[in-house]
Structure 1
C-alpha cells in the first residue's frame, strides 16, 4: 500500500516538474523578446510583467525611448512622435507570452514571486523541488 502511495507522489512530482520546466521555457521566450528590445530579464521586470501584462512593457519601452531622446538631444516633436509610435505594437507583441506564462504559473500552483530569476534565466531550485516533494507527501 505504501509503495503505491510513493509511486503516486513521485508521479505527481514528475508531472509538476515537467510543467515547471515548460514554464521556464516560456519565461526564456519572454527573456528573448525582452532582449530583442534591449531589455534584460530580472526579478522585478518579471513580477511587474505578470501583474501588469503588456502595459508594464509599454512603460519600460517608453522610458527607454525617452532616455534615448534625451541622450541624443532630439528636439523635433515629429522625430519624438515617430520614435514613440511603435511602442503599442511592440508591447502588444508580449500578450501571447504573458498568457502562456500566466497559464503555466496556474498549472504549477505558484506565483511570479516564487520563480527564481538568475542572470536573466528562470531556474528550478533544489529548494523549490524539495518543497513540492514535502507538499505531495504531507
Structure 2
C-alpha cells in the first residue's frame, strides 16, 4: 500500500517543507478549514501509508500549500497508475522493456502539469495513427 502512494507522500512532505510549515501548523490550518486531522496523520500521508486519502484532506492540503487541487489529485492518481505498470505487478500482461521503464521513470519526475501534457501528446499520436492507418512502432 505504501508503495502506491509513497511518491505522492514525498510530494506532500516537499510541499509542506517548501511552505515552511510544521505538521502542527498544517493541522491547525486544516482545522480552520473544518478538517480534523492530527500530526500523526500528516506524517502518515507524507510516508505514503494512506492509500485512499480523504477528498477533504486533499482539498485542504492544496489550499494550504498553494497548489491547484487538480495537480495534487493528478499526482496521486499518477503515482498509483505508474505502480500498476511495473513488471512486478501481478496484473501486468507483459514485461516492460528497459526503454519503457525509462519513460515511466522520466514521467514520474515531471510536474503533474508537464506529465499531463506528455500523456495528452501520446494520446494525440495514438489517435493520429488510428486515423491514418499507420501502426505505431513496437518495442
Higher RCO, Cα 8 Å, sep 6+: 1
User: Structure 1 or 2: larger helix share?
Assistant: 1
Calculate the TM-score normalised by the size of structure 1.
0.31
User: Structure 1 or 2: larger strand share?
Assistant: 1
Calculate the TM-score normalised by the size of structure 2.
0.30
